[in-house]
Structure 1
């Protein structure tokens, strides 16, 4: 399958639907008070760059974002691929594009928070294959036992 990845605004109906699918997948996995998703409106903030993967028909099949925190620190947010494309390395390609932009922006450390529950294993594989390592709690996320944190130092 041919995939095109580009920076896009989250304020599009088909991207909103992709975000809704991600939320529907995540919400049952972790207590709501330990979920830290950006809304579509928050994703439109100038500190956030959203990459959208589209199939040959222009349908969004995945996304991932870079949130810049300043001082060389960036955060991977809203990583998701539709179940129908999992295993086709779409998530890995999105993560590579995020890392490439981070390098261009002078970011030297990428962080991310994801869930710590059954159902997150595909995400762990993508992050670990991408060179991320498990670390302690980052930024202002609580160390609740419901989150797993990753980091990657980049040149």
Structure 2
């Protein structure tokens, strides 16, 4: 495994849920969510839900190494939700999450959405994610869609 750097070229592609590295990262994402939240507060998507119509799943690669994943789900004609954003451990704190987030926001804009929202955890383990979203202009909001008030969740939104 090479040491990834922020200046390395990142290739983002749609799909790829069958790739072994992607399967491993989705499983890690689900396990981490379960480690930090009670079952009723885990909103991470498993493989079946990541394949649902209306959801666009992306992976980011540096060379042959999976760096990150993320998805965009349309929840209304003008409103999208970010789902399953996760950076592989070897690529954390190297700008990959910001690259993926920029891409997902562009996908939402290309879909004709004017608003993008997300749900993330309220615990300390999710602080880096909340900070990233805040740097991109996301602000805390009331629960949207099927989300309900939950001390383990933080909902955030921004206009495009």
Same fold (TM over 0.5): yes
Report the TM-score range of the alignment, normalised by the length of the smaller protein. over 0.9
Alignment equivalent of 1:145, drawn from 148, 151, 154: 151
Q: CA deviation at 1:131?
A: 1.3
Gaps of 5+ in 2: none
Indicate yes or no: 2:105 matched with 1:94.
Answer: no
- Find the residue that maps to 1:143 and give its secondary structure: coil
Q: TM-score, normalised by structure 1?
A: 0.93
Q: TM-score, normalised by structure 2?
A: 0.90
- Find the residue that maps to 1:36 and give its secondary structure: coil
Residues 100-150 of structure 1: CA distance to partner in whole angstroms, max 9, x if unpaired?
011111001101001111200110121111111111111111101110010
Residues 69-100 of structure 1: CA distance to partner in whole angstroms, max 9, x if unpaired?
23211000001102221111111111110110
Corresponding residue for 1:18? 25
User: 1:29 touches 1:118 (CA, 8 Å); kept in 2?
Assistant: no
- Find the residue that maps to 1:37 and give its secondary structure: coil
Corresponding residue for 2:52? 45
Corresponding residue for 1:29? 36
> Size of the alignment, in residue pairs?
153
Task: Name whichever of 73-82 and 36-45 sits farther off.
Answer: 36-45
- Find the residue that maps to 2:124 and give its secondary structure: coil
- Find the residue that maps to 1:106 and give its secondary structure: coil
CA RMSD of aligned residues (A): 1.2
Indicate yes or no: 2:69 matched with 1:63.
Answer: yes
Moved over 3 A (4+): none
Distance 1:70 1:148 in 2: 20
Distance 1:15 1:104 in 2: 25
User: 2:33 touches 2:44 (CA, 8 Å); kept in 1?
Assistant: no
